[in-house]
Amino acid sequence: MKKVITIASIITIIFSASKVQAQDNDKQQDNKIYEKSYIGLYGGISNPNGNYGSTAYSNNKSGFAKRGVTFGLDGAVYVYKNLAVGYTLTFQDQGKLTYDDTYALAQGYTDSYSADATSVTATGRYHNWNILVGPQYSFVYHKFVLDLRASGGLIKIFSTPETSVQLTGIPDQTAIFYQRKASAFVLGYGGSAGLRWKFSDNWCLALKGAYISSPGPSVKNDNHTDVMGRYVTKLPISEFQTTLGLTVNF
């Protein structure tokens, strides 16, 4: 609910600001210089939030994602005064399961099945691309521009970690069972706030914070003959990204 309220608040601010701007007197509007469309290269840190970064064995939605890098393109095309359509294309690497993660999973499965011992092996990393667009409004003060944006679109999941589990001492589950890696297009949404500093006529240094969320991909499980304990069928995505970039007007 808080996520929905946050995105709705950003949309309200954007359109309220646009409405107020439209009500200024004609003479002031004619003399005002509006923002130009821009595109930029950004890079920074992507932090997993909530279930995505959780390492709790008992939480079937915990993703064990890690803080990682993000980089890509971000920009906006102004369609009416300081109201624009913003767009983002970014790549994220949210890491892999560590030894401590696999050890915690092994202990959890051992307890759930009352097994003699459990071996858990993890391969692969979290890799995805965000492709998002949405309305943006820009507030200008001297050489500074504050950009507020709400966005939605697609997240392309290229890979998620895959785990294999081998139990010892359980006759009903002698086979190794797997939580397979996922690859899919899923819907995503978010909001962002960015501050640009104009150090020349057409170039800006930009700092941006963005929140992205998605129901995430479905997950396939193989070789379960006796399902007990942790069983993952969905991996929700939630990220907060802090990036620094360089933009150029066009």
**pLDDT tens by residue, 40-76:** 999 999 999 999 999 999 999 999 999 999 999 999 9
What does the pLDDT read at residue 14? 54
Cite the DSSP H helix spans in the chain. Answer: 2-22, 26-31, 50-53, 99-113
Please determine, for residue 221, whether its predicted confidence score (pLDDT) is greater than 50.
Answer: yes
As a whole number, mean pLDDT of residues 218-226 equals: 94
pLDDT tens figures, 129-165 = 999 999 999 999 999 999 999 999 999 999 999 999 9
Average pLDDT of the chain? 91
Q: Kindly indicate the confidence band of residue 25, based on its pLDDT and cuts at 50, 70 and 90.
A: very low
* 3-state DSSP assignment of residue 83: strand
* 3-state DSSP assignment of residue 7: helix
What does the pLDDT read at residue 34? 83
pLDDT tens figures, 81-129 = 999 999 999 999 999 999 999 999 999 999 999 999 999 999 999 999 9
Q: What is the dihedral of CA 105, 111, 117, 121, to 10 degrees?
A: -10
DSSP H or E run through 156: strand 144-159
**Domain range spanning residue 205?**
2-249
What does the pLDDT read at residue 26? 46
What does the pLDDT read at residue 11? 56
Strand partners, 207: 195, 244
pLDDT above 70 covers what percent of the chain? Answer: 87
The count of domains in the chain is 1
d(CA 247, CA 234) in angstroms, rounded, equals 37
Hey, what amino acid is at 32? K
Q: Find the CATH number of the domain harbouring 8.
A: 2.40.160.20
What does the pLDDT read at residue 132? 98
Q: Kindly indicate the confidence band of residue 16, based on its pLDDT and cuts at 50, 70 and 90.
A: low
Please determine, for residue 7, whether its predicted confidence score (pLDDT) is greater than 70.
Answer: no
| CA-based R_g, the chain, Å | 23
Neighbours of 238 (CB within 10 A): 20
Q: Which residue has the tokens 């504050």?
A: 146
* 3-state DSSP assignment of residue 153: strand
Query: What share of residues in the chain are helix, strand, coil (percent, to 5)?
Result: 20, 50, 30
* 3-state DSSP assignment of residue 88: strand
Strand partners, 90: 72, 130
What six digits make up the tokens of 238?
A: 């939630």
Strand partners, 119: 166
pLDDT above 90 covers what percent of the chain? Answer: 85
Within 8 A by CB and 6+ apart from 135, the residues are: 11, 14, 15, 83, 84, 85, 86, 149, 150
What does the pLDDT read at residue 80? 96
pTM: 0.83
